[in-house]
Chains A and B, each alone.
Chain A
Amino acid sequence: MVSLVATQTLTVHQKAVRSSVAMKALMAVTGIILILFLLMHMWGNLKAFIGAEAYDHYAEWLKSDILYPLVPKGWFIWIFRVFMVASIVLHMFSAYVLTMRSRAGRGRYQRTERRAQTFAARTMRWGGVILLALLLFHLGQFTIKWFVTGFTATSTPYEAIVLTFQQWYMVVLYALFVGTVCLHVRHGVWSALTTLGANSSPKARRVLNITAVFVAGLLFVGFMAMPIAVLLGGIK
């Protein structure tokens, strides 16, 4: 039992607020925020097909005057980053708490046959941990520039992606990253919407599953288009 649950002094309402269902809702909402971010990120990456100037201008714009004059120039990106980090941290926190409860609750059999579980559902937890590692690599490479992969610290964003993805093994690593993301998104979209109550009929269940596969597929195609175009020489 995780200490968050049900000590006798809590009211029924307080127990409900701390319940697995409420925790799942937190995970669902933060997950949807992350998926919306991914869709936006994917859309932005496609600017590379328009050209170096368009791509670099877009990258520049993200860090300059969005929300100006409501906030000073350059603030938006930091507000946005804090928001994203908070979403990721809350997503991981809820995942950790729920995983610990499930570990305590589940049984171990000598033999198990699963009838409904998808590969995507089975790999959510470890897939999530692997995603964190790959995300840190991704941010270290392109955002924080702890290390560079074929470009230099003074390269423009466009040069950075082109020089990186001209190396086939970076494209493979990226495909692994995007593939893991999409697998997580496949179960994540369905599960988040169900947790928030959208699974209201057998038809709704089908629609939610199709939506999940569609979003995952769209993200995979959208994210892989640019690196593959670079590798094949379509973007240089």
Chain B
Amino acid sequence: MKITLNIWRQANAKAKGALERYHLSDVSEDMSFLEALDMLNEQLTAENKEPVAFDHDCREGICGMCGVVINGSAHGRYSSAVPTTTCQLHMRSFADGAEITVEPWRAGGFPLIKDLVVDRSAFDRIIQAGGFISANTGSAPEAHSVPAPKLESDRAFDNATCIGCGACVASCPNGSAMLFTAAKITHLAMLPQGQPERYSRVKSMIAQHDHEGFGGCTNIGECASVCPKQIPLESIAQLNRDLMKSLFRREGK
């Protein structure tokens, strides 16, 4: 198949960027979207032009490294029949002769580095603010000594599947990272091991979230609709409940 790509090119954070138009022929419909970008980059390299910079790693939809906005939706969710990461989006999702617009994640909390690459270290700092449990090192305790209720541990697992790709932020009309933060809050709040730090965690993670320049949630639901791991919007309500409860507690005072 033949496709036309309109790709955002920007040399660095300070440079002025613009969409540039590229034509690709002999694209296989079995290629992933990243493989099509690889193909374009080989073509550009052969022409002695600067290849398009984009993030990627496992290409199995589990690492959270890749992610671009394709035809106006994060990970090309608008073009795909199923929730997906960019690496798992196949070219058969597009018609032969399609014109495809490719842009980087755009949000106040994700400064652009180059072309389609943005700096997502704000997510690391939100996790560092409390997205963990504190445990003494030593031999691991016997797993069955701490019972975890089935329904809660299922929810914890579902929320733990967040790969931190940032699609929620990229698709949010407020540039909010609430779904990402809520996934981690819900994951740890559902498990017995998460309880001791539950309320200090939510306070410090929200504080860091806001400090990073992400906007507030207005319950629109764009985030959950593009999430490759289908983190539900309900997780944000869990975060809201925990935060409101935490305001009546002494942690962090």
Contact = CB atoms under 8 A, between A and B. Distances in A.
Given A12-B203, A15-B207, A20-B206, A116 B221 contact: yes
Contacts of A21: 206, 216-217, 239-240, 243-244
B51 interface: no
B25 interface: no
Interface stretch (B99-107, B132-140, B142-150): B99-107
Given A22-B243, A116-B224, A197-B244, A102 B175 contact: yes
A190 B252 CA distance: 31
A118 B216 CA distance: 18
Interface string A217-230: 00000000000000
Interface string A82-105: 000000000000000010011111
B211 A6 contact: yes
Interface stretch (B55-63, B67-75, B87-95): B67-75
A20 B216 contact: yes
A106 B237 CA distance: 21
A92 to B, nearest CB: 15
Nearest to B172: A106
Interface string B216-227: 111111101110
A190 B210 contact: no
Interface string B229-243: 000111011111101
Contact of A121 (B109, B170, B207, B218): B218
A193 to B, nearest CB: 9
Interface residues of A, number: 52
A195 B240 CA distance: 6
B110 to A, nearest CB: 8
Given A111-B103, A196-B244, A197-B237, A116 B220 contact: yes
Which among B106, B174, B207, B246 has the greatest number of chain A C-beta atoms within 10 A?
B207
Contacts of B240: 21, 24-25, 194-197
Given A5-B210, A13-B253, A111 B72 contact: yes
Contacts of A106: 106-108, 172-175, 215
B214 interface: yes
Contact of B225 (A6, A15, A115, A194): A115
B194 interface: no
A19 B243 contact: yes
B194 to A, nearest CB: 17
B1 interface: no
Contacts of B222: 114-117
A115 B237 contact: no
Given A13-B253, A105-B107, A20 B217 contact: yes
A101 B103 contact: no
A197 B238 contact: yes
B13 interface: no
B85 interface: no
A154 interface: no
Contact of A108 (B78, B106, B174): B106
B224 A191 contact: no
B237 A113 contact: no
B84 interface: no
Which among A6, A12, A21, A104 has the greatest number of chain B C-beta atoms within 10 A?
A21
A121 B219 CA distance: 8
Interface in A99-149: 101-118, 121-122, 124
Which among B6, B173, B225, B253 has the greatest number of chain A C-beta atoms within 10 A?
B173
A117 B237 contact: no
Given A20-B210, A202-B232, A205-B233, A101 B218 contact: no
B207 A101 contact: no
A42 B44 CA distance: 66
Contacts of B214: 105
Contacts of B8: 110
A9 interface: no
10 contacts: A6-B210, A16-B202, A16-B206, A17-B247, A19-B209, A23-B216, A25-B244, A104-B213, A106-B106, A202-B232
Please give me the 6 A-B residue pairs with the lowest Cβ-Cβ distance, nearest first.
A107-B106, A105-B215, A12-B252, A105-B175, A20-B216, A102-B215
Given A6-B211, A21-B217, A194-B237, 8 more contacts: A1-B213, A106-B174, A124-B218, A187-B219, A197-B241, A198-B237, A199-B219, A202-B232
